[in-house]
Structure formats: C-alpha cells, structure tokens
Chains A and B, each alone.
Chain A
Amino acid sequence: MSDGQYNGVTDTTDGIRTPRSDGEVLLSIRNLRTRFVTEDGDVPAVNGVSFEVRRGEVLSVVGESGSGKSVTAMSILGLLPSTARIEADHMLWRGESLLNAGENRMRQVRGGEIAMIFQDPLSALNPVHKVGRQIAEMILIHESVSKKEAESRAVDMLDLVGIPQAASRAGMYPHEFSGGMRQRAMIAMAIACSPDLLIADEPTTALDVTVQAQVLEVLLRLKDELNSAILLITHDLGVVAGISDRVMVMYAGRQAEVGTTDQVFYRTRHPYTLGLMRSLPRLDDVGSEPLMPITGAPPSLLRLPSGCAFHPRCPLARERCSKDVPDLNSGGLGHHPSACFYADEVSGDSAGLAGGRA
C-alpha cells in the first residue's frame, strides 16, 4: 500500500475513501453528530464524523476513552439511550438511510446485517441460557428455519470459530467456558446470520494476551469467509497494526487522522496519533527511549477547549490552534487526511509497533 492512492482526492470526502476501492460501499456516514442531552447541557460525544466502510476491509477506530468511538458504533445501530440525539448529513447502509428507519427495520439490521461483538463476553452472554441455545435463538429470530436446523447450525458456528467438541459445548452455560471461548461464542452468535458488517467494540480487551491473537485471527478468517467487513473499535494500537486495512483516529468526538494503517503508523500526520504511539512500549528498542505519555487528561466534552480540542496537550500547539477548529482538510492536500494545521511538522515514522505486523 502506498499513500499514492490518496493523491488527488480533494473533495470533502477526504479520508473517507478506502484503499479497497473495488469493494461495495456498505456503510457511508457523513457528518455524524451525536450528542447527549443532560442537565448540565448537551454533551457532543460525536462531532462531525464521516467515513465509509467497504466490503472486505477492516477499519479500526482508535482513541482514548470518551473519544466517541463507541458512541459512533452505537449511533449506527441506534442503540443509544433515549437522551441521545443523533444527526447526520447521511448515514447510509447499503444505500438505505438508517437515520429514519423504523424500529422493525432496525431489528432486522441489528444482528442480521450488522452484528456487534462486545468487550466482555461473559457479561454479554446470558448466564441462564445454554450457549448453543443462545446462538440458535439468534438464527431463529432472523431467519425462518426450524428449531432443529437452527440448533445444528449453532453447532456449526461454534465449530467455525474454533471451539473444540462444538456439539457438547453447545449444551454448556457461558460460565463453563473460558474467557477466550466465551468471546468465540459471542463471535459465533454475531456471525450466525452472516452479517455484512461486524462491529467489534474492544473485542480483545477483556482477554488474556495469548488469547487475543487467536480471537483476532478468528475474526479475520471469518471476515474473508463471509466476505464481510469489520469495524474495529479499540484503544490497543498493537491490535490495530495487526489486522486493520485502515485506521481512523478519534479525539474528543472528532476525527484526528484517517489513513491506511501504514500511513497512520509510518507517516503519522497528527500529534495526537504520535502521542498515542509514543506512549506504547516498543518491542524493538527496549530501554533506549523512555515512554512518553501524553500530558494532561482528555477534555470534558461539556467544556471543550476552543479551536483544536487537542491544543492544550499538544507539543506543536500555537496561537491558531486555540482559535480555529481544524478539519480533516487542515493538514493540507497531497497526503492522507489529518485534522492538524501543522501536520507537516509531525515527525513521520513513529511506529516501531508496525514492525510487529502479521
């Protein structure tokens, strides 16, 4: 992959384009704004986010807690509490607007066409139902098949995600599964109806490091088998480097930087991305360079700093940063999109991490 693919992209959809321009556009979001109405005022959790997901790709959304990555995903599926207000120029699922879809249509989409995998598989599985039955129920809801067929397909699904002795495992309860197996069971449930898009919200965070790789491998394999796409939400840059085609970095509800994985890791164009990577231990130079945490704390969404929300923590910040709000075009043309006025000054290769790419 080279960033040449981005050359010449000049309209406002910058960074929304995917490198796999051959894949069907599954999801297209333009200017998504999600805010929560609270007693202290509106909280803009997502503020003007635009992106596309194409069939066959893995798009990672990276950011600290509160950066709006999960809210973005929840907005797509309409899973937010009633205090949330979702607005967008458009939010198209295979050309159909999800913004004004009725509850019945949304129920078909959820699970049937867009499925979600949650962070903690033990709490995401119902403790009182057998695993096989939970997967079968999922199939029964979305497809008109017999109960028996649904049950045998549930076993197939468990087999597909690599659970040994799937038939007998299907008769067990979630608490009888190990952490990695639970997450696989959750994945089996999510893919049971062959969804086109899989949203994985921190799918490996609750797992043992050794199990993480296995689960990611399962996810990738299934994506290829089902010819679907994955929207991966994570704060783990190691995971991002390992499996994603493209990366979208979010900060305080806005997009900071969008590009192919190589672009974001090797030719970083946003100081926040750089900070994220510097604060991670690198395998290839143990001890030579101390970790550099990003100073300060993420801002309160209720009282966002003026201008660029990152400027109080940014080493490159100068006067303009506290006045004007940068957008993805601010980094200048001819490169992958970055919401930083001084993107050219961000020193390029920062990613020893990417050396660990699979």
Chain B
Amino acid sequence: MTITPSSLPSAGGVAGPPDGPGGPGGAGISDVGAATSSWREFWRRYRKNKMAVVALALLIVLIILAVFADQIAPYRFDERPLTKTTAPSWDHLFGTDQIGRDIFSRVIYGARISLRIGILATVISVVIGVVAGAVSGFFGGWVDTIISRFVDVFLSIPYIVLAVSIAAVMGRSENTVIIVLGFTGWLAIQRVVRSSFLQLKELEFVEAATALGYGRWRIMFRHILPNALQPVIVYSAIAVGSAILAEAALSFLGAGPVDPTPAWGLMVFTAKGRLKPAPYELFFPAVAIVITVLAFLLIGDGLRDALDPKMKNRS
C-alpha cells in the first residue's frame, strides 16, 4: 500500500516529496499553490503506458459500437439477408452464417451483450465483494470466520459447474450469465479487500479517527475503503475481461444465452462444427473476444501503473 511515511522535508518546506507515494490518484504532485487535479495527474501517468492507451481507445470504439449498434450495423442481428453461409465480401464484410445472417452485424451487436455481461457481472461482484471483504476484514472474529469460510467453500467449487447448474434451474439467458458470474466473481474480491482492511485497520489514521470520535461505519467506508480501493479498481478492469471470456465459455458449453442472441461465445460455439467450409464464421467473433478481453487486461495494467507508482517498471 501507499501509506509509508516518507522522509521529513525540511522545516517550512511546502511541497510534498515528489517521490513520496501518496494516496491513489493523488501522489507525486509537485506544483504547489494552485489546486492540483488528481485526475490530470492520474492521466499523466496512465498515458505513459502506450498499450493501455491503445486499449482505452479500443474500449471507447467498442462502447460506441455497442451503444449505436442499431445505427452502425447494416442489418439487425436476427435479420436474414441471405439463406446460407457466404464468404466475406463487400456486401457482407465478415460473411454470413449458416442461416444467412450478416456476421459483421452480429459481431457489432455482440459487443453490446459482451460489455453488458462483463460490466454488470463485475459491478455485482465488486459491490458484494467489497462489502463482504470490508466487514470481515474490519470486524474480524466470528463474522470474518463465517464469511471467509463461505468464500473458501465456494472458491473450491468450479464456477463452470456452478454456472451450468444455475443455468439449468434459471433457464439459459443473458441475465443468468450475469447473475452466475456476479455471484461467483465476488469471492476473489472479498479476499483482496479483506486483506487490505486487515492491514489498513492497524494504521494510525484509523486509530486517530476513532480517537476523534468517528463512528465505525464511517471509518470503514469513508476512511479505510478509499485506501483499499486501488487493487479493486485494477482487479475490476481485469474482471470485466474475464467475465466476457467466461460468458464465451458458458455459451460455448451451452449454459449461456440462446440463439438468436448474438453473443460472441455462442457464435463461436455454433460455428465450431463447420470450421473447414466456413472458417470466417468462427474467426470474426473469436477475434472480437480476444480483442475485447485483451483491451480490458491492458487497461487493468495501465490502471495499476497509474494508481501505484511503486509497481511501475516491474512485471
């Protein structure tokens, strides 16, 4: 973490040590006097990671595609301009699938589904994981024991098995995937947040906050949590990527959304039997998955560099 006391600057000195790691997004600001924007500082450091910048641009493109799919895609995802599969051409950039749907359009609509699943599943995981981790790390004792053992038990069940069983009960749909991924993804976050809290609650500013009469919940969520968020933010970016990948895996296993939903994983699944006659049916959605997941992983990398200067130049 970043709470190491830095060496004392000389008396009356004003600037914080430029090398002194500070809070997330607020470290190393060396200009004094003017209100310094921690966002600008954050961006300055994020920008240094070129791959992360490219990934961010890619993500913006993906978001635009997802939001404006209706306007951008030449066809609707369930529209059948042809009746059979055709190779890529100027009319159908990525070709058409077995029943003649435009793959280019379906990949664009797929961005909507993948992003929705990835982001919503991650939001659910983060909310549950942060609260559970904060409570168990802060209070400790039997509360911690119960929550942590619960997490251990669920971590030891392969999430695919869990997902397939839940899908069997709830029926196959996008929302099932979101719920499955959301309720399995928080386990890891609970552990991350819990360990941060265990560390942070021993620090003096927590004791000071108690000594100044702050309530427990205020200390937990307003004082400790912001200090513990940094790994969570980095993890979340990566988690969105993993959730998209997991969605593809679930679709591929037949536990995800059903046709005609243009989920990328589902498209790969339907295309897998006909790799030889129509490789483009599998290729384009697969590439879309790879690019999207990679973008989120790289963004996670960039966030880590930007939020934690100490980690830079490692890895």
Contact = CB atoms under 8 A, between A and B. Distances in A.
Contacts of A111: 211-214
A124 B213 contact: no
A104 to B, nearest CB: 9
B2 interface: yes
A143 B56 CA distance: 45
B204 interface: yes
A108 B9 contact: no
Contacts of B170: none
Given A124-B205, A173-B16, A179-B9, A112 B32 contact: no
Contacts of B27: 175
Interface residues of B, number: 44
Given A141-B214, A211-B11, A177 B16 contact: yes
Nearest to A116: B211
B26 interface: yes
Contact of B223 (A123, A126, A207): A126
Interface residues of A, number: 48
Contacts, number: 127
B35 A171 contact: yes
B168 to A, nearest CB: 44
**Which one of B3, B6, B27, B208 has the highest number of Cβ atoms from chain A below 10 Å of its Cβ?**
B208
**Which one of B3, B20, B36 has the highest number of Cβ atoms from chain A below 10 Å of its Cβ?**
B3
Contacts of B227: 126-128
Nearest to B28: A175
A179 B29 CA distance: 16
B212 A110 contact: yes
B33 A165 contact: yes
B33 A122 contact: no
Nearest to B38: A173
A29 to B, nearest CB: 18
Interface in A92-123: 106-112, 115-116, 118-120, 122-123
5 contacts: A127-B26, A128-B227, A175-B20, A175-B22, A211-B11
Given A116-B212, A128-B26, A165-B33, 7 more contacts: A107-B215, A127-B23, A129-B23, A175-B23, A176-B16, A178-B11, A190-B212
Interface of A: 77, 79, 106-112, 115-116, 118-120, 122-129, 137-138, 141-142, 165, 168, 171-181, 186, 189-190, 206-208, 210-211, 214
